[in-house]
Every structure is written in C-alpha cells, then in structure tokens.
Amino acid sequence: MKGFRYLENVATLKLDQAACIGCGRCFEVCPHQVFTLAGKKASVSDRDACMECGACALNCPVKAIFVDAGVGCASGMISEWLQERKLRAPGGSCCS
Amino acid sequence: MNYMVPPGLYAIGNPAGNDPVLVTANYKMSYDLVRRSLAGRNVWLLVLETYGINVWCAAGKGTFGTGELVRRIAASGLTQVVSHRRVILPILGAPGVSASEVARRSGFSVSYATIRAEDLPEYLDGGMATRAAMRELTFTFYERLVLIPVELVLALRQIAGIGLAALLVVAVVGNPAAGISALCAWTGAALTGLVLGPLLLPWLPGRSFAFKGAEAGLLWSGAFYLLAGKDVWSGWIIAAVFLALPAISAFYTLNFTGCTPFTSRSGVKKEMRLALPVIGVALLTGIVLLLAGRFLP
Ligand code: SF4
Ligand code: SF4
C-alpha cells in the first residue's frame, strides 16, 4: 500500500506454483497487490505487503495458497493470551 | 442509534430481471454509502446479516461469508427475481467468501468489484471491469481520523481508571499537586498514543507501531516538560518522564494495529513479543526513578 509498510519477513503466505491453474482470483481479491500473473501462473511478487487477510487462500479454487490468516490486532491477541491462560473470561476482541 | 439495516433484497430505482445484484453488509454506514453511490440507477442490493458490522470486519469474523451469502440468496428468492446468475461483492468481503464454494452451493458466480463504494458507478459503467486503482487500499489521514473516536470511547474507562489511580497514589506518596501532574502526564501520554500516533502514522519513522508510538510519546514528554517541569523537576523526574511516557504511548499506538488494513497477524505477534517486555521495563524503571527521586536526597 502506498505510503505504508509493515514489518518485513514475517508474512506466512505460501504459493504452490505447481498446483496453480492461473485463474487470477488471488490477483483479483488481494487488496495489497501481492500477486502478479505471468503466463499461466500466479507468483508472489511482494510478500512483505501481505496482511494475512486470507482472501487469496479462501478463493483459490485449487487450494494452491496457504496463509495463516487472522486479524492483526494487539488488544485482541492480549485477551486471547489471557484467555488461554485462564486469566480472563472469553469475549472481547477487536473490530466489534 | 440503530446501526443495522434489516438483511434481505432491496431494489434501488426500478431494477428488472437482468439488472446487476450487488452485495453489502447490514452496517448502516456501508449500506448508506452503497445506496448513495448507486443513486439514479436500477440495481438490486442484497444485504447480508453481519449484525451491524462493516464488510471488512465481518469478513474477518466470517459473518460476511460463504454460508450467509448462500443462505441469503436462497431466502430472498433471488433465482426467481433475476434471470442471470451473478452477484457482485466488495473486494474487502473476500476474506470471508469462497467464490468457488458459493458457485457450487448456489449456482451464482461471484465477481469482486471494488474496494470503495464510490468506485461502483465506474465499475458498472465500464463493463464490470476493475481498474488497478479500484483494488488498491488506501489509509488516508481522513480514513484514520474517523477510526479514532471509536478507539477513544473503547479506551476511555481504562484511561480514566488508571489516571485516577495514579492521581491517588502519587498524591498520597508525594503531594496533591504532584498527583494532578501525574494524572495529566498519564492522560496526555495515552491520548498521544491513541490519537497522535495513528494520525502521524506515515510520517513517524520506522515500521514498528510501538516504535512510532514511542516517538509520538517523546514529543509529548518534551511538551509536558516545557509546560510543567522546566524549572521544578529534578533529574530523577525528568528521566522517569522521558522513559515512562513514551512507553505508555507506545502501548496505545501498538493497539492501533487492530484498526489498520495493512498489519499482518504474524507481524503484530512479533512486534508484541519484542515491544511488550520493553514497554513493561521502561514503565517500571520510570516508577522506580520517581520513587528514588522522592526518597533519595
Ligand atoms: S492474505 Fe490477503 S493480503 Fe495476503 S496475499 Fe492473500 S489476499 Fe493479499
Ligand atoms: S487463485 Fe490459485 S489457481 Fe488461481 S491464479 Fe491464484 S494461485 Fe493460481
């Protein structure tokens, strides 16, 4: 995204190019222009821009994409941690 | 106020069987935006039940999702209303919807149109083609500004609670004037992290949100020093202020990662692992320094 970059070398995005059928869905749904289509295959051209929203993986018809998707929300993760350690009742996340 | 629109199929203008079907969430703001940008046209609008949450957040939760879309298509009798088999979705709904699954279960093919509702007219007029700019996210000053009131409301109780506790403790250990001062320092640092950090986001150097927040917090520490401490603070207090206040701001700006459309979960996890201990140590050291200044000559 123009003007914004987050941490490098953390995104969990993986593309299995052998499985790709070049339908272009991943390119269509990615709001950060992570993919490019060359010939009949998609390729990851900007992995560090990936925000792990999961849209590409969910929409790939042949499941050629893996990403550990989730909302990058600090307060949500803190309450998740606390819940896992039974320090806090469930409920309360970001984005609500 | 009610932020929800009843889910279901709506007609904008006077649509016929071959007019396009657009899909949105039942968050009032999304719905109004889409309606406004489509005014003067004949289109169908299928509103999904997302419990008053916007498309992006609802897609993340899965309420704007494959299941709800398939159910809503069936419940609204869409197959009898339109002759084609295509629904048009906002790009930011894609994290919740599997296009191939929707096609398999409902017979409708999914087109992801644009990120912003404002681009819908151009998309529809341009033969349903998405220009590159229509699928590019932005996060402008204004887009950040409108997020802040919600964040403020959510954090208000916490900020007030901790502020009052700081006021009492410092007033008892030190004196009432110092208590007031501590309340101001805390509130300023929290608001700096919550408001200034997000607003100045692209201009604060570095990639880590905590780091950006600490930079904003340093600005506040400097301002607070000039306002309140210039001639009265001891070296202990100055050191404490310049350590603890940036740490507080860092924490609140780090929290803003939940509102931004470009921070990955893995990135936030990594940043929290690194930043939270540093923030904790800086805060504790600040408190120790304050106590040292109070009880040591
Ligand atoms: S997870 Fe989201 S941001 Fe990352 S590549 Fe896929 S669609 Fe793009
Ligand atoms: S969505 Fe999957 S199959 Fe289609 S281009 Fe992308 S990786 Fe290839």
CA A44/CA B193 separation, integer angstroms: 34
- Predicted pLDDT at B218: 97
Beta carbon of A26 within 6 Å of any ligand 2 atom: yes
User: Looking at the predicted structure, is the pLDDT value of residue A92 above 50?
Assistant: no
User: Looking at the predicted structure, is the pLDDT value of residue B147 above 90?
Assistant: no
Average pLDDT over residues B22-47: 94
Average pLDDT over residues B249-268: 91
CB-based contact, A94 to chain B, within 8 Å: yes
Considering the domain A14-70, what is its CATH architecture? 2-Layer Sandwich (3.30)
Interface of A with B in 19-38 (CB under 8 A): 25, 28-33
Reported in sequence order, the residue ranges of chain B that DSSP labels E, i.e. its strands, are 8-12, 21-25, 43-48, 86-89, 109-112
CA–CA min distance A56, chain B (Å) = 8
CB-based contact, B285 to chain A, within 8 Å: no
Which chain B residues touch A29 with a CB distance below 8 Å?
A: 91, 94, 112
A11 CA: nearest ligand 1 atom = 4
The pTM of the full predicted model, rounded to 2 decimals, is 0.85
Q: What is the value of ipTM here, to two decimals? A: 0.84
CA B214/CA B196 separation, integer angstroms: 11
Going by pLDDT thresholds of 50, 70 and 90, the confidence category of residue A32 is very high
Which chain B residues touch A76 with a CB distance below 8 Å?
A: 258
Q: A53-64 pLDDT, tens per residue?
A: 999 999 999 999
User: Looking at the predicted structure, is the pLDDT value of residue A87 above 80?
Assistant: no
Map residue B78 onto helix, strand or coil: helix
- Predicted pLDDT at B231: 82
Which chain B residues touch A3 with a CB distance below 8 Å?
A: 139, 202
Nearest CA to ligand 1 atom 4: A50
Beta carbon of A64 within 6 Å of any ligand 1 atom: no
User: Looking at the predicted structure, is the pLDDT value of residue A91 above 50?
Assistant: no
In the 8-state DSSP scheme, what is residue B4? B
**B264 C-alpha to ligand 1 centroid (Å):** 9
User: Looking at the predicted structure, is the pLDDT value of residue B71 above 90?
Assistant: yes
Token readout for B69 is 């879309």
Task: Give the end-to-end CA distance of chain B in Å, rounded to a whole number.
Answer: 57
CB-based contact, A44 to chain B, within 8 Å: no
Domains of chain B: 8-135 (3.40.50.11600), 141-295 (no CATH)
User: Looking at the predicted structure, is the pLDDT value of residue B19 above 50?
Assistant: yes
* Cβ–Cβ below 8 Å for A52 and B265: yes
CA A2/CA B139 separation, integer angstroms: 9
Q: Round the average pLDDT of chain A to a whole number and report it.
A: 85
CA B284/CA B289 separation, integer angstroms: 9
CA–CA min distance B123, chain A (Å) = 14
Q: B154-201 pLDDT, tens per residue?
A: 899 999 999 999 999 989 988 898 899 999 999 999 999 999 999 999
What type of residue sits at position A18?
A
- Predicted pLDDT at A93: 47
What type of residue sits at position B157?
R
What type of residue sits at position B57?
C
